Chains A and B, each alone.
Chain A
Amino acid sequence: MTAWLDEALTRVAADATALRTVFPAVGRRVGRGPSDVPGRTVDDLARVALLKAAPGAAAEMPDLYRYGDAAEKRAVLHGLSVVDIGDAGTALVADALRTNDTRLVAAAMGEYAATHLDAAAYRHGVLKCVFMGVPLAEVAGLDRRTDEELRRMLRSFAAERTAAGRDVPADLLPLLTGQDT
């Protein structure tokens, strides 16, 4: 952990509004390389740590997302499952799922989405990941939220791919044959 991050954690713990100027600077202060956590960069982890450290982060997160660049937005999405934001995070997840940025779409389909999205939104989130080539390993909650309607949508997607002579992603296959339990 850098001295800069230590100081930043102290600042946001005292005043969550400090996140507004600390958040964008994280990448150039702590680096952007891979971390020990698969799929997370060093700046991803630092930003989520900052959100956890700031009492009142939940009130700041919508604007951190709105004014954030892609890295900041991704961190806010990761942070939804570690900060108590109630239902206010669903609008951010919905925004990310409207983009065509695979990094944001993948980050949107984390544990918060698995818990908070309604069935239709969750199904379309999964389908969008499949469509964009986001590995399903990055999608939370598939074991408990895959239902017959989602399986139908995925089978239809696979049929379209096959008809076009294109490959069906390998990680899709186990989902196509399951049954509701």
Chain B
Amino acid sequence: MRIFDPHIHMSSRTTDDYAAMHAAGVRALVEPAFWLGQPRTSVGSFTDYFDALVGWEPFRASQYGIAHHCTIALNPKEANDPRCTPVLDLLPRYLEKDGVVAVGEIGYDSMTAEEDKAFAAQLALAIDHDLPALVHTPHRDKAAGTERSIAVVRESGIAPERVVLDHLNELTVAMVKESGCWLGFSIYPDTKMDEDRMVAILREYGTERVLVNSAADWGKSDPLKTRKTGDAMLAAGFTSGDVDRVLWRNPVEFYGQSGRLSLESGAAAAEFAGNSILRGARK
């Protein structure tokens, strides 16, 4: 089973996770820019993070035979903090970097006026830089937030097939399918969505324009949820072709719209900027 995890925060995971993901079949992933678990207080905190997403983290992934790409944005939660919003002016520099395959995560957290502004501005950046967009749907008041997100996407003029709305559930899947946008599902141990509910949704709505991710981060999450969903699909009678479509061909098609996906895992360099992932001399 070859797997492309279209949403996983590897900066908060260990090298053991990279090894386990590779063993499970993960060969490519996208790491969206988001918050840090605790609030940032300056623009410099964003740019150092973005530098890691286009530098150190792809290097770490390459050591485990996994192609790493990222998305860059001001996340919805921190769009509300005036100490953070000036990062919007720096995004054009990062949106032209080689490993950047979308603008994201953008969208709503609490649906404030500030979030409205950052969301619209960053959809415009996606159009300017010829990139797809990854839209986070809010955890609270999700259905209303998703509906409003679809309206903002429509108003922006970006083509719906270049947008994915993520973290969907049973109550939001139909409206997103209807919008023409891609459908993202985050499979979590206890919250958001689980493998069996995902299989039921695939049965009802099909595999077209569906992305399944682990969204693993520093919280309770599981970087192997993509593989577990593939196994659950097979157990439920889906073909290996269906699984390949959901877990590989769909994310390749979606992020491939950037023109910047590079999936051949060439010989990995032993060091990044003089720093290796080894801690101490190799035994």
- Min CB distance B128 to A, Å, is 9
Question: Which residues from B are CB-within-8-Å of A70?
Answer: 55, 273
> Residue B92 at the A interface, CB < 8 A?
yes
Q: Does B49 reach chain A (CB closer than 8 Å)? A: no
CB-contacts of B118-149 with A (<8 A): 129
Q: Which of A25, A27, A69, A102 contacts B274 (CB 8 A)?
A: A102
Assess whether A20 is in contact with B93, with CB atoms less than 8 Å apart: yes
Give the shortest distance, in Å, between B70 (CB) and chain A (any CB): 12
Judged by DSSP, the binding face of A is: helix
How far is the CB of B50 from the nearest CB of chain A, in Å?
8
Cα A177 to Cα B154 in complex, Å, equals: 73
Q: Report if A181 contacts B (CB, 8 A).
A: no
B129 surroundings in chain A (CB, below 8 A): 21
A20 touches B55 (CB 8 A): no
B: contact size bracket: 10 to 19
Decide yes or no: A24 and B96 within 8 Å by CB, A69-B55, A99-B273, A99-B274 being known contacts: yes
Question: Among B47, B260, B274, which residue has its beta carbon within 8 angstroms of that of A101?
Answer: B274
Judged by a CB distance under 8 angstroms, whether A179 is at the interface is: no
Q: Does B54 contact A (CB under 8 A)?
A: yes
B275: Cβ under 8 A from any A Cβ: yes
Residues of A within 8 A of B273 (CB): 70, 99-101, 104
Q: Does B98 contact A (CB under 8 A)?
A: yes
Which residues from 9 to 32 on chain B have a C-beta closer than 8 Å to any C-beta of chain A?
A: none
Q: Which of B61-99 contact A (CB under 8 A)?
A: 90, 92-98
Chain A residues near B47: list those with CB within 8 A: 66-67
Does the CB pair A24–B55 fall under 8 Å? Answer: no
Chain B, Cβ-Cβ closest to A27: B98
Interface pairs (16), CB distance under 8 Å: A20-B93, A21-B92, A21-B95, A22-B96, A23-B96, A24-B93, A24-B96, A28-B260, A67-B90, A67-B93, A67-B94, A69-B97, A69-B98, A70-B55, A70-B273, A99-B274
9 residue pairs, one from A and one from B, having the closest CB atoms: A100-B274, A101-B273, A24-B96, A67-B93, A21-B96, A25-B96, A24-B97, A101-B274, A20-B93
